[in-house]
A and B are shown apart, each in its own frame.
With several copies, the nearest count.
Chain A
Amino acid sequence: MLFTVNKSPFTAGNLKSCLRYVTKESPILLYEDGVYGAMAGTALEPEMKETLKTNRVYALREDLKARGVANTIEGIQLVDYAGFVDLVAEHNICPWI
């Protein structure tokens, strides 16, 4: 099951709440304002690194670029819209919007 998160983790509870339900085989895709969670050097980085020990985390390249987020946390994989489509083709989707 792919979880998708589109809100900034610094002002909305979506990512935090999503992380309560992801199981080991569940990848997480950050897009729209959700991509701020992928940025390196933030107060959230330790928690994201914890998540990366058990789960694959993806961030949408187009949204990162639009927001000027160049440095992402090591281990987070960048995908473009085609990669977003591939992830949805591989997994059922749980939109955590």
Chain B
Amino acid sequence: MGEEQYDEEQSTEVQKKFLFVFKRAPHGTIYPYEGLEVILIMAAYDQVISAVFTDDGVYCLKKGQETAAIGVKEFSITFKVLEQYGVEHLYVDKEALSARGMTEADLVTGVEVVDKETIANVIREQDVVLPF
């Protein structure tokens, strides 16, 4: 990650709630990689940032990814540092995770594994939702 320079804290008068929805698997498309890039930049702007992982997006957090043989960057480790970047919540859909044979122990970082009703309520509160 980190092709752009991560700026110092930006000050704006408005504070909004931004939600990043990770729905796609890593490596098959560039979407989740680029979603993470946006979060890292946005973190400098004093906004309220959360992320939801559902559908194949839960695979983004899977432990043990080694991408050398397909020649692309391994970026799951970057999800670990999101808390330091001020991302308030990382929600993972419980059913999406279990349908894929995984539990929280399979994930690279601590998250909140929640039911669909919780995610529905999180979505409802947002000002901006960005799908990746």
Contact = CB atoms under 8 A, between A and B. Distances in A.
Interface of A: 1, 6-8, 10-11, 13, 17, 20-23, 26, 32-33, 36, 39-43, 45, 61-63, 65-70, 92-97
Interface residues of B, number: 38
Contacts of A93: 129
Contacts of B131: 94-97
Given A13-B55, A67-B27, A42 B99 contact: yes
6 contacts: A1-B126, A17-B23, A23-B121, A36-B25, A43-B98, A67-B62
Given A42-B101, A65-B66, A11 B56 contact: yes
A21 B128 CA distance: 16
Interface string B72-113: 101010000000000000000001001111100000000000
Given A11-B56, A95-B131, A65 B101 contact: no
Nearest to A73: B101
A10 B57 CA distance: 11
Contacts of A8: 25, 28, 56, 59
B101 A66 contact: no
A20 to B, nearest CB: 5
Nearest to B101: A41
A66 B70 contact: yes
